[in-house]
């Protein structure tokens, strides 16, 4: 994509002012904190280090106008997943940053993408300081905080004016906040959107999904787009695949957990009714296949084979669909809204190790990565994501309706910020299998597993 030159220059000036303010204020080491997705082809296990060049001779001016001492050389270790897209983005960011900041050397620390969460936690929770900053997703934040592995950045950010929480989309920043503490800087989000086959819509005479459409509209379009054999028992084309059950809970005004994260609210009427709407699309209206984890077909393969007309999915799926060079026109739309408009999102960001001896320099690099220049480089290798910083340049559009990706952040929600959520999700997935097969109601399934979920939450 094209990144406007004036935006890059303006951003560099802002962070230069921030760095000058930090130097003038004499910021020291922050107090010890209380702590804080899909692999592509693996990148080479050995990633080259970005080597610094000699530091410039002129220092940074102080508030009194006299030149400050020449910036001291510093070496940072930067950890990130080793999949192809993440590695390409990280190496491009390292090269660009060290070119503009020759006193900084950054050592790349790629970790296996397939086991990134475990490898990262092992690295940052040991009594070593071999990682200064690292890429993380919102799902890892609870474990990082519980292990006191991520630095609270508020002390380093206090007193400066260049960084403001309002500069970021609220849904992306919230994942890193705990009260007044901030355990990372959000970089970007991957929201759920809807992909649809324009050719099938046109052939059936169905209007394309539009902003503000509802669950009732979704069901009506799915009925129009479902193709059955003469005996009506065999479906050759489904109208839609299903959205996530978490999104259906939120969309009907329900909640997954209590505000303090100590008990589930899935057994509430609103939560159960939202998922029951989806189950009825499978078993009553018969316009959607059962989810893949309940024995249904792969919905992406169905979409690519023109066997399903609408596909809720993560925005980054657009890259795979483009690469497949599908023989039909397709586009992106917002998810339909139930009682509440909501889009499940996953947030990626940068955190500073609590054991880093170079916390301020690491924060400067992290701030640059999440800013316009750094996010532009990531979009080159990982398109169809939404930058968290509001001033970051939008990606050049390639697909009809692509603006829905950025718009989704306005109603974005991350999954519950509790460390045991993966285990909770696994319990719910298993409990819903008979629901998708028409053998049990959602309310009954949730009622059965509520004690087990609450026990997990209390123990976790």
Looking up residue 170, the CATH number of its domain turns out to be: 3.40.190.10
Answer whether residue 28 is part of any domain: yes
Give the number of other CB atoms < 10 A from CB of residue 457: 22
Same structural domain, 241 and 379 = no
Give the number of other CB atoms < 10 A from CB of residue 438: 13
Same structural domain, 121 and 242 = no
Answer whether residue 234 is part of any domain: yes
What are the CA-CA distances from residue 280 to residues 99, 206, 271, 436 (Å)? 57, 22, 15, 9
pTM of the predicted model over 0.85: no
Q: In whole numbers, what is the pLDDT of the chain averaged over residues?
A: 85
Parent domain of 351: 5-190+346-387
Position 346 scores a pLDDT of 97
Q: CA-CA distance, 194 to 344, in Å (whole number)?
A: 12
Answer whether residue 392 is part of any domain: no
Same structural domain, 162 and 201 = no
Same structural domain, 326 and 352 = no
Answer whether residue 405 is part of any domain: no
Same structural domain, 161 and 53 = yes
Same structural domain, 364 and 272 = no
Answer whether residue 403 is part of any domain: no
Same structural domain, 364 and 231 = no
Distant-in-sequence, close-in-space partners of 143: CB < 8 Å, separation ≥ 6? 117, 121, 149, 419
User: What burial letters (b/e) apply to 323-333, b meaning 16+ CB within 10 Å?
Assistant: eeeeeeebbbb
Beta strands in 112-184 (DSSP E): 133-137, 177-178, 181-182
Same structural domain, 336 and 361 = no
Q: CA-CA distance, 194 to 403, in Å (whole number)?
A: 12
Answer whether residue 232 is part of any domain: yes
Same structural domain, 169 and 317 = no
pLDDT in tens, 224-282: 999 998 766 789 999 999 999 999 999 999 999 999 999 999 999 999 999 999 999 99
Answer whether residue 397 is part of any domain: no
Same structural domain, 158 and 211 = no
pLDDT in tens, 353-403: 999 999 999 999 999 999 989 999 998 888 999 999 888 766 677 899 999
pLDDT at 205 over 60: yes
Distant-in-sequence, close-in-space partners of 359: CB < 8 Å, separation ≥ 6? 29, 30, 132, 151, 156, 352
Same structural domain, 148 and 276 = no
The DSSP call for residue 411 is: G
Q: CA-CA distance, 55 to 69, in Å (whole number)?
A: 12
Domain count, the chain: 2
Same structural domain, 373 and 426 = no
């Amino acid at each position: 994509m094209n990144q406007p030159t004036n935006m890059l220059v303006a951003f560099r000036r802002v962070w230069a002012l921030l760095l000058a303010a930090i130097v003038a204020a004499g910021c020291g080491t922050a107090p010890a904190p209380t702590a804080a997705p899909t692999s592509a082809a693996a990148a080479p296990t050995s990633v080259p280090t970005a080597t610094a060049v000699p530091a410039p001779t002129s220092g940074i001016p102080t508030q009194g106008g006299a030149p400050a001492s020449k910036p001291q050389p510093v070496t940072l270790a930067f950890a990130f997943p080793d999949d192809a897209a993440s590695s390409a983005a990280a190496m491009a960011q390292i090269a660009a940053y060290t070119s503009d900041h020759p006193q900084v050397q950054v050592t790349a620390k790629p970790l296996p993408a397939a086991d990134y969460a475990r490898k990262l936690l092992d690295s940052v929770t040991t009594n070593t300081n071999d990682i200064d900053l690292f890429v993380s997703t919102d799902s890892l934040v609870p474990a990082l905080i519980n292990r006191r592995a991520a630095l609270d950045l508020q002390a380093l950010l206090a007193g400066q004016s260049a960084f403001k929480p309002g500069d970021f989309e609220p849904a992306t920043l919230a994942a890193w906040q705990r009260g007044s503490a901030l355990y990372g800087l959000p970089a970007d989000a991957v929201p759920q959107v809807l992909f649809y086959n324009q050719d099938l819509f046109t052939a059936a005479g169905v209007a394309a999904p539009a902003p503000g459409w509802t669950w009732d509209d979704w069901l009506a379009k799915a009925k129009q787009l479902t193709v059955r054999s003469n005996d009506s028992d065999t479906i050759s084309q489904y109208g839609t695949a299903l959205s996530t059950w978490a999104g259906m809970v939120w969309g009907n005004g329900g909640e997954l957990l209590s505000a303090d994260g100590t008990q589930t609210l899935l057994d509430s009427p609103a939560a159960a009714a939202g998922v029951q709407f989806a189950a009825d699309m499978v078993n009553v209206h018969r316009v959607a296949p059962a989810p893949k984890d309940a024995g249904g077909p792969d919905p992406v393969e169905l979409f690519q084979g023109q066997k399903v007309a609408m596909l809720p999915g993560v925005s980054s799926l657009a890259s795979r669909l483009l690469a497949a060079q599908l023989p039909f026109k397709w586009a992106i739309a917002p998810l339909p809204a139930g009682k509440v408009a909501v889009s499940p999102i996953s947030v990626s960001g940068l955190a500073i190790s609590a054991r880093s001896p170079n916390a301020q320099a690491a924060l400067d690099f992290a701030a640059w990565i999440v800013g316009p220049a750094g996010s532009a480089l990531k979009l080159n290798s990982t398109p169809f994501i939404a930058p968290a910083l509001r001033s970051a340049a939008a990606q050049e559009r390639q697909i009809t309706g692509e603006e829905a990706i950025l718009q989704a952040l306005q109603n974005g929600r991350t999954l519950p910020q509790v460390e045991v959520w993966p285990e909770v999700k696994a319990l719910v997935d298993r409990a819903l299998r008979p629901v998708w097969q028409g053998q049990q109601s959602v309310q009954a399934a949730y009622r059965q597993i509520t004690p087990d979920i609450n026990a997990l939450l209390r123990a976790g």
